[in-house]
Structure 1
Amino acid sequence: MNNVIVYSKNNCMQCKMTKRYLKEHNVQFEERNINQQPQYLDMLKQQGYQSVPVVMPADSDPIVGFRPDSLKGLVG
């Protein structure tokens, strides 16, 4: 599966664990770091998100936080 976007920030343990989980399960994703690209922070706030990571798959609901139970649904 592709078309997965992971919004993250620096020094975020849940973000690191989420990205590691996706990499270990060969899930392709695009990372958007809100520290390096602050325009994404504004977009997330406008959509009502108050924390990262936010995993946005193209064809299912967003996953907020490190949620291995939800992330396994992305594993092909």
Structure 2
Amino acid sequence: MNSVTVYTTAQCPYCVMLKNFLSEQNIPFNEVNVNTKPEMMQKLVQTTGQLGVPQTEVNGQWIVGYDPDNI
């Protein structure tokens, strides 16, 4: 079973596109809204060096942005 976590904000259109894509592909995922959990934003910056969302962790590999080809 794949482990997929999507880091999002409420006002991010690419986050919605990514979640829709995962749902359409029947890929279960956890969502972490960094607006409500600012400490997770710090984790993202420390881990990937990127401030933007969406960022997706798939089995320990990071994908930045809306990138369905790599997911």
TM-score (norm 1): 0.83
Aligned length: 70
**Counterpart for residue 37 of structure 1:** 37
Q: Which runs of 5+ in 2 are unaligned?
A: none
Q: Supply the distance in 2 between the matched residues of 1:37 and 1:4 (Cα, whole angstroms).
A: 18
Give the drift of 1:2: 3.0
Aligned Cα RMSD in Å? Answer: 1.2
**Kindly, what percent of the aligned residue pairs are identical?**
39
Q: Scaled by the length of structure 2, what TM-score is found?
A: 0.88
Aligned to 2:32, the other structure's residue is in SS state strand
Higher strand share: 2
1:74 maps to none
CA distance in 1, matches of 2:68, 2:59: 18
